[in-house]
Chains A and B, each alone.
Chain A
Amino acid sequence: MLDWSPIILTLELAVITTVILFIVSIPLALWLSMTTSKIKSILEAIVSLPLVLPPTVLGFYLLLAFSPESHVGSFLENTFGLQLAFSFTGLVVGSVIYSLPFMVHPLQSGFSSLPSSLTEASYVLGKSKIQTLFRIVLPNMKQSLLTGFVLTFAHTIGEFGVVLMIGGNIPNQTKLVSIAVYDEVESLNYDTAHIYSGILLVVTFIILIFVFIRKNNTFNWFK
């Protein structure tokens, strides 16, 4: 009988990461798209780091930071009672950092490509910045929002290096599908590895097809 828990855990992690990143990325991307500040380039470079850095490097630094012996780790444990190393919460934090560019970049380009006259027209009509953001700006960049959602979701599902470094392989806590595949292959259980891999392949492929159909407007389903 197949153990479904890695699959459920993976989906859970992907959903939570996507939601957190959406909330965090809106102000960040909005600021990046508007600012002329000197620290913009530095911040953009930091956001993009996970794109080029090997996941193991990121995982290694996170592991050091999460360790109860480090300043960050001891602070979190003493203040909030949080133990991030080898826990699901730690995985969430790691995923949020690891997938940051996949949410921020589409949102930032969405914000920049929207004509500034739309927001200005809204201000002139007496509407506040928040009202304008939720009623005019976000509804007019649905394509960017969707791209951000899907890429973040899919990228979190595909995580391996970071998870291995900071999560380990604890069933029901940190054992994601990608880890489970590795585990099963190590134990020469090719049949189970096949099933896990197949599920991951199908799920991510369907997600990507959905994105490209929407992008190319092949069908009018989602209009």
Chain B
Amino acid sequence: MIKVNINKQLVSADSTFNLSLDFSVSKGSFVTIYGKSGVGKTTLLRILAGLEKPETGTIQVGNNFWFESKSKTDIKPQQRKIGMVFQDFALFPNLTIFDNLKYALSKNQSNEIITELIDTMSLSNLLKRKPNTLSGGQKQRVALARALVQQPEILLLDEPLSALDNEMRAYLQDFIIKMHKQYNLTTFMVSHDVSEVFKLSDIVLKLENGKILTSGTPESLFLEHTISEKFKVIGTVLSIKKTNAGLMVNVMYGSSVIQINSNEKETKNLNSGDKVMIESQLINPRIIKI
């Protein structure tokens, strides 16, 4: 169990507000922190990592207090069992990819974990290169692998996929899920992207003005009701076109485009770029093994 109850005053360019959060998540959860920019999402990650200090409150991980303002407990980032992927990846430019991974090893830790991560993250052909010669997706994979070298209990991801194209996003989302399960991690991820939230997380914390507006499963937060006998996907509207048969809506889902016949009523308030849910009654679905 991870229990967080913190208060911190945040000063931004045009406003000052209180970040005041109180939540608990069970071990092994995939938690997404969702909300507009400037509501304190990154600050929450930094507080969990020990890079920023709340004014009052507690952070309890299992039976240990990582932070407790009353007893002035504040465990250093070095001693918290966390892995963190920064928004700019923070790969060390002076070290090769292999040395970046090796740097993360703690004293007396064997090389084995690195070999394993290189294998699972498909990094073997990048090892001798320097970070500035890598593409965004490659940097992302290295940063994720490096964060896992010390075998942390908690993984913190700060909008890890925001700079990538859709195809690379989908590909890396799969890596993140794989790592989350393989290493029994409790993962906290900051994300803006609804489809990503749906695909990855168990729990969503929706933040607004420094408070948790709502929390729960992605379905309970983003869909008005949950109906399990329906097939549904979340996508982005690309275009709406008139054809002889009526209106045709093109929706981007992952890296594929779905065409859907629609009508004036359904598309009334719809513009390209909108997030939409496509649902369909599962009257007679077919499942084909591929």
Residues of A within 8 A of B (CB): 115, 117-118, 120-128, 135-136, 139-140
Contact = CB atoms under 8 A, between A and B. Distances in A.
Interface in B59-95: 76-80, 82-84, 86-88, 90, 92-94
A124 B92 contact: no
Interface string B96-128: 000000011010000000000000000000000
A interface: dominant SS:
helix
From B77, B80, B106, name the one whose CB has the most chain A CB atoms within 10 angstroms. B77
* Closest 4 pairs between A and B when the two form their complex, measured CB to CB: A121-B90, A117-B90, A139-B94, A123-B77
A2 B84 CA distance: 64
From A117, A125, A136, name the one whose CB has the most chain B CB atoms within 10 angstroms. A125
Contacts of B93: 140
Interface of B: 49, 51, 76-80, 82-84, 86-88, 90, 92-94, 103-104, 106, 146-147, 149-150
B interface: dominant SS:
loop
A125 B103 contact: yes
Contacts, number: 52
A124 B94 contact: no
Given A120-B51, A121-B84, A135-B103, A128 B78 contact: yes
A140 B84 CA distance: 21
A125 B150 CA distance: 7
From A121, A135, A136, A140, name the one whose CB has the most chain B CB atoms within 10 angstroms. A121
A107 B22 CA distance: 42
A115 B87 CA distance: 12
Contacts of A126: 78-79, 104, 106, 150
19 contacts: A115-B90, A117-B88, A117-B90, A118-B92, A120-B51, A121-B92, A123-B76, A123-B78, A124-B84, A125-B146, A125-B150, A126-B104, A126-B150, A127-B103, A136-B92, A136-B94, A139-B94, A140-B92, A140-B94
B51 A124 contact: yes
Given A123-B78, A124-B147, A125-B149, 4 more contacts: A123-B76, A124-B49, A124-B77, A126-B150
A125 B149 CA distance: 9
A120 B83 CA distance: 12
Contacts of B146: 125
A125 B78 CA distance: 6
Contacts of B51: 120, 123-124
Nearest to A118: B90
Contacts of B86: 117, 120-121
A197 B49 CA distance: 59
A115 B149 CA distance: 22
A64 to B, nearest CB: 46
B130 to A, nearest CB: 11
Contacts of A122: 92, 103
Nearest to A142: B94
Contacts of A118: 90, 92
B82 A124 contact: yes
A155 B99 CA distance: 38
A107 B80 CA distance: 31
Nearest to B81: A126
Contacts of B83: 124
Contacts of B80: 124
Nearest to B92: A136
